[in-house]
Chains A and B, each alone.
Chain A
Amino acid sequence: MVGRFRWAAMFPDEVWEHVFSFLTSDGDRNAAALVCRNWNRIERRSRKRVFVGNCYSVAPTVAVRLFPEVRAAVIKGKPHFADFNLVPSDWGGGAEAWVEAMAEGWPNLEELRFKRMVVSDDCLDLIARSFKNFKVLSLVSCDGFSTSGLAAIAANCRHLRELNLRESEVEETCLNWISHFPEPFTSLVALDIACLEGEVNASILERLISRCSNIMTLRLNHSVPLERLVGLLQRAPQLMDLGTGKFSARHNPQLFSRLESAIVGCKNLRSLSGFWEPGLTYLPAVYSICEGLTSLNLNYATVQNPELVKIISRCKNLRRLLVMDLIEDSGLVAVASSCKLLQELRVFPSDPYDAAEPVSLTEHGLVAVSAGCPMLHSVLYFCRQMTNAALLTVAKNRPNLTCFRLCIIEPHTRDYVTQEPLDTGFSAIVESCKDLRRLSLSGLLTDLVFKSIGASANYLEMLSIAFAGDGDMGLHYILSGCKNLRKLEIRDCPFGDKPLLQNASKLETMRSLWMSSCSVTLGACRQLARAMPRLNVEVINESGRGPLAAQPDNCPVEKLYIYRTIAGPRTDTPQCVWTV
């Protein structure tokens, strides 16, 4: 055996490191690391980028020690359903332990990306002071920090290239944090502050943008008035990605023509977003650059169908479109005929709770786009009605779908023509779309759909289920099939203890499982935790029933989060969370 692998030791480590440097995907590097001990050692010692999908899956100090040369790290915290207020706000996902370990062990860290983590101002301060070559800070869907923390980053990170705060919640404690970027600071390439709710001083921003000649991405918040946007565009005509923030002002023809020229001047614009409260009189100012756009995000623009179509039908090169259901079926028909290169479509509900202003967006729009856009592979679609026939057509038209997320707003909605469940429709999707990686189900569904998914969805990595299924078999089909399943999130389904216990070992092959408002009992959680020491079984009960350790086995579990980990139970659980 040793003889067969001796060739690996023929080359010095540096040669193998160089070879590995051509492996760009984490998956490939992981595979190389499993070949033999030598490669394992060489690979991990030379790894520059690390991705931690669950911040509790490994202790920060261990990760830092294993991969000493890391320059870029991505760390994710809370479960996805935290986006929809299903996870208690004090659940965890704090970044301190990670930042402290990184400050200690990765002084050359350049890029840090957090998602759904709680990042405090102290963390930001530590980041600002610890990494002399720090270049990228990305805080997506994070909270726990304020503009004071941002001021520390601005003041100390001399080589900062990217500051991204997408969809984070930021307290406004320091009014002019942007002024903390010192005068000699010129390295900024990307700035996304769209989520900030407070005022941003436009003059200071203008000065910053003027001296950062490499700025490519600028996503503004609502406080920058249209007049000042013109000034910013004039100073940064090289922009590729613009978030307009607000896009309205009093009707003023001079302002309009200045805006239009400024936009025309940005010959490299490929991505547009923002458009909150868009003034109809100003929307036409973007017409001239529509043809060059590859990404258009109008999902906050409460603009009616005619205006939307006027813009979108000019975007012949669009790859990515986010829009509200105000586009309606007729608008999507226009998309299908104009945007032949479309790859990703997301349609959001303009009125998710109240059908007081029903919008004419139905299954027809989805079918039209599936027919007209041959490169469409990613769909997120909110609507109020669906048929199996429509889903079958979509499946037939687009076997290249990799991401299909359909949300029919009313739970348990049937096929409105046949009154049947939507099992056959979704089954057609998983059977036809062999590369499907992500699927979200909705509507009335029985266990039959889960049988199809378990059997056919061989590459499925993430599955979201809500208000579906008849009983335990549904979950059993999923857990006993779906070979590549990584994340499973379930709410309000009649799934109980049996399928969990029967498929316990499956859970170690996955990143995480979330179940809320299902039929799982505490006893099953205890059994599972005993049988699987490398899983953390977290039970969340917010109804104040008293210490969970004292509850009987048949006590129902409100919310359950199970994830694999080599770090053991975590030490920062709040009162309502108990690691069984």
Chain B
Amino acid sequence: MTPPMEHDYMGVNDTELRLGLPGSNGRVADGGATGGLTLGCAKRGFSDVIHGGSFSEAGEDAGGVTKAAPPPPPAKTQIVGWPPIRSYRKNTIASNSSKNNNDDADAKQGNECHYVKVSMDGAPYLRKVNLNRYSDYKELSLALEKMFTCVTFGSYGVSAREMTTEGRVLDLLQGSEHALTYEDKDGDWMLVGDVPWPMFADSCRRLRIMKGSDAIGIGKAPKAMEKSRIRN
């Protein structure tokens, strides 16, 4: 049921971080950007995300402060070392903002957002998804596919219980070049799809789209994953 793979977008140049000036010509959404990263087939996907899907709440104005701010910027090249914050702080924030939403019951009631960062191997940018917006794996998978067009994750339509972990991995590998994995509350990396959706949505801290070949062994042996996580 997987759509045919679009051309491999991960050309060598595309993964190069450039110090282009995003204010002028680095934006992915611009045509023919010379200074920035371009993912040819991803352009359409990003504008969909910006103007349609999960980020529409960015337009809401809280607190009555007038903001003449421009619309949320499209995905931009990540400039090395900018903004100038310590990498120490980046790591802490990344795990904090998703953990904070998990641990506190009070926070959950008032807070409908469960944003987790999504990284893709080979892409220097991160995206974020709000897991509370989806009710099952299929919706999440579709949203991610839209966000990172040219990537497919095999079929999540089948109930997790019906497939063994091994079966899942093989299916993914055959059907696509990428596997969707997540880091859970305990810091282990697991394949997405193995547990019931509510349990997943509750324990997921981060998502990572890995190359299929790297995904072997996930979910069964968390320690083995450590090595490839460190390597990456």
Contact = CB atoms under 8 A, between A and B. Distances in A.
B7 interface: no
A410 interface: yes
Interface in A489-513: 491-492
A385 interface: yes
B84 A407 contact: yes
B222 interface: no
Given A417-B68, A491-B81, A251 B96 contact: no
Contact of A86 (B58, B80, B97): B80
B93 interface: yes
Interface in A298-329: 299-300, 302-303, 328-329
A167 interface: yes
Given A86-B80, A358-B69, A410-B23, A281 B86 contact: no
Interface string B48-81: 0000000100100111010111101100001111
A358 B68 CA distance: 13
How extensive is the interface on chain A, given as a class?
A: 35 or more
A358 B72 contact: yes
Contacts of B58: 355-358
A198 interface: no
A16 interface: no
B104 A167 contact: no
A382 B84 CA distance: 9
DSSP majority for the A interface? loop
B220 to A, nearest CB: 25
A411 B82 contact: yes
B107 A280 contact: yes
A329 B65 contact: yes
Interface in A72-87: 81, 83-86
A277 B99 contact: yes
B100 interface: yes
Contacts of B89: 299-300, 348
B90 interface: yes
A349 B72 CA distance: 16
B115 A300 contact: no
Contact of B63 (A167, A251, A330, A407): A330
Contacts of B78: 353
B68 A466 contact: no
A356 B72 contact: yes
A353 B126 contact: yes
A199 to B, nearest CB: 13
A412 B23 contact: yes
A105 interface: no
A187 B7 CA distance: 66
A355 B72 contact: yes
A390 interface: no
B21 interface: yes
B10 interface: no
A41 B72 CA distance: 63
**When A and B form their complex, which 3 residue pairs have the shortest distance between CB atoms, in order from nearest?**
A84-B81, A412-B23, A86-B81
Given A350-B97, A357-B115, A409-B83, 16 more contacts: A169-B88, A279-B104, A281-B106, A348-B89, A351-B97, A352-B85, A353-B126, A354-B126, A355-B73, A357-B58, A360-B63, A385-B69, A411-B79, A444-B23, A491-B81, A492-B21
12 contacts: A81-B81, A83-B87, A248-B104, A281-B106, A302-B100, A328-B62, A351-B93, A353-B125, A358-B58, A385-B69, A409-B83, A410-B22
Interface of A: 81, 83-86, 141, 167, 169, 195, 248, 251, 276-281, 299-300, 302-303, 328-330, 348-358, 360, 362, 364, 382, 384-385, 407, 409-413, 416-417, 440, 444, 464, 466-467, 491-492, 517
